Chain A
């Protein structure tokens, strides 16, 4: 498929606010036609330019060595072309505070072959005779080419401005959603009047998660979206839509990959039921969450499409005009702006610079990094609202570390795993090997954390407590020798 067609298709899939601000590839193509026409009028047909380029290749390297340092300071990009006829041609793009002014520079050396020089119409019409033995230099402005660069830079600038708006709009939406989730995803203590925190005067051995709380889940779900968001966000984290945390392919995902994963995430969320049967308010919030993520996906698309369009149009420019693309700018400028990597096969490319970075045409910084910024923002704003069970789990059994025991060394385990270690006489902390396992007792219960867990993880706390009891009973039965008879009622 032609790029202009696939570009149009990508743009069509974007919301109007983004689509309308994309670079107009068609317009740029038309402008290239005008550049070609202008060059023709001047006498520089692509064939002639290509020819000059070819002949001039040998002279190129010695030319470079003679370059004077002050010529570089104007940010002028030179691609000098000389021929053995004594005619030197260079294509320069002057960067005047972001305003790109392209022009041709013709230098006619002393004793140049006048006949060859006169074949170029623009020279024939120049006032000074090229036969002048002192050698001359002419600067030929390129009006259409200036229009081309003007259009391209202003399109990119416009895109950048638009993205700044999109960014701040996104952040406002995100903040708003975050506040609204915080108001609805409440812990037990906020919705259950009978909630009492545990205190250190309680006997940790008899701690239970009260039966009111055991039948609590439906009640909790009435008044709080805690578990709805816990489930949705857990699916979201597992989906790794935009970034991979896997060891083999850590980092940002490709556009196609992210789209596939977004679709899968939606499918899983639908299956899990978190999208239906909730209050209207909850539904609206969930939809907003999806919308924000889709926005990121769209920005990734726009990012991809814009950099492709810029790369392709510059390639087309080089191909149609045969003007050798300016070699890259000094490194510090290249790294200071977002850069489109352009690969332009021109004969003037010295062998060492097969791939050139065109800092002259910077893609706005925003376009490249905005999706990552927004992904980060979701991670920083929405995810912390709902405590995640992995952050409060026992490293040994991987369940919620309930009841939580804090060893002297500061490491946390569930009481069940700690008791097992003590029974086996294992003295060292599994994390740091400091010898503080055997001395741990009820004074090591972390009460504040226990209350936090019962408050934010009522379901997990209760499940863990039950499974602790089951396991302890089974162990006791085994010690008493009941396990094989199968006569134990559990």
Chain B
């Protein structure tokens, strides 16, 4: 099945005129599947990090949102999965809680609009790195950490950035 015109246009622009700090390239064997790198914004705990993500445009796109996931481990209140119920200390919890790189972002869910694009989605993800929003979390434990001791949480974010996102 031919790729919809809209996806072709979006891809052309992404490649020819990339947004600063964002690179998105389609896989050769699947033009709906993108390899994405986002630079950690300056001044955030993710500064100097390069974060690897994957993005997929489902059949219903743009009526349905793209699917986006971090492949680089990241310590961020809005990114991560469930809490492991068996781990008790906070320290252990964040080591195990931020898991599959799934992103909690309203525009990727119920606030999606077909007027949004791959570019706007990735810019929103980049913005999320500048301003973590602990009130809307997937990784609740990281969010708790951010709410209770923002400085310490930022320190851990920086550590993780250096450890996992500097390659």
Any A–B CB pair closer than 8 Å: yes
Q: How far is the CB of B123 from chain A (nearest CB, A)?
A: 10
Beyond A398-B6, A431-B115, whether A248 also contacts B17 by CB under 8 A is yes
Beyond A247-B17, A398-B5, whether A433 also contacts B113 by CB under 8 A is yes
Q: How far is the CA of A42 from the CA of B18 in the complex (A)?
A: 63
The 5 closest A-B pairs by CB, nearest first: A430-B115, A430-B113, A246-B17, A398-B6, A396-B114
Q: Indicate which residue in A245, A247, A417, A428 contacts B19 across the interface (CB closer than 8 Å).
A: A247
Contacting pair B6 A428 (CB below 8 A)? no
Q: How far is the CA of A432 from the CA of B16 in the complex (A)?
A: 28
Answer yes or no: B4 CB below 8 A from chain A CBs.
yes
Q: How many A-B residue pairs have CB under 8 A?
A: 38
Q: Indicate which residue in B4, B6, B20 contacts A247 across the interface (CB closer than 8 Å).
A: B20
Answer yes or no: B131 CB below 8 A from chain A CBs.
no
Q: How far is the CA of A430 from the CA of B111 in the complex (A)?
A: 10
Answer yes or no: B92 CB below 8 A from chain A CBs.
no
Q: Which of A411-441 contact B (CB under 8 A)?
A: 417, 420-421, 424, 426, 428, 430-431, 433
B-binding residues in A (CB < 8 A): 245-248, 395-399, 417, 420-421, 424, 426, 428, 430-431, 433
Can you name the residue of chain A whose Cβ is closest to the Cβ of B115?
A430
Contacting pair A248 B115 (CB below 8 A)? no
Chain A's interface: helix, strand, loop or mixed, by majority?
loop
Q: Which of B1-33 contact A (CB under 8 A)?
A: 4-6, 9, 16-20
Q: How far is the CA of A300 from the CA of B127 in the complex (A)?
A: 39
Question: Can you list 25 contacts pairing A with B, beta carbon distance less than 8 Å?
Answer: A246-B16, A247-B19, A248-B18, A248-B20, A395-B114, A395-B115, A396-B6, A396-B62, A396-B63, A396-B115, A397-B4, A397-B5, A397-B6, A398-B5, A398-B9, A399-B5, A420-B63, A421-B63, A421-B114, A428-B113, A430-B113, A430-B114, A430-B115, A430-B116, A433-B113
Contacting pair A247 B18 (CB below 8 A)? yes
Residues of B within 8 A of A395 (CB): 114-115
Residues of B within 8 A of A246 (CB): 16-17
Q: How far is the CA of A476 from the CA of B84 in the complex (A)?
A: 45
Can you name the residue of chain A whose Cβ is closest to the Cβ of B7?
A398
Q: Which of B89-145 contact A (CB under 8 A)?
A: 113-116
Residues of A within 8 A of B116 (CB): 430
Q: How far is the CB of A488 from chain B (nearest CB, A)?
A: 14
Q: How far is the CA of A455 from the CA of B9 in the complex (A)?
A: 25
Residues of B within 8 A of A433 (CB): 113
Cβ contacts B21-65/A at 8 Å (1 or 0 each): 000000000000000000000000000000000000000001100
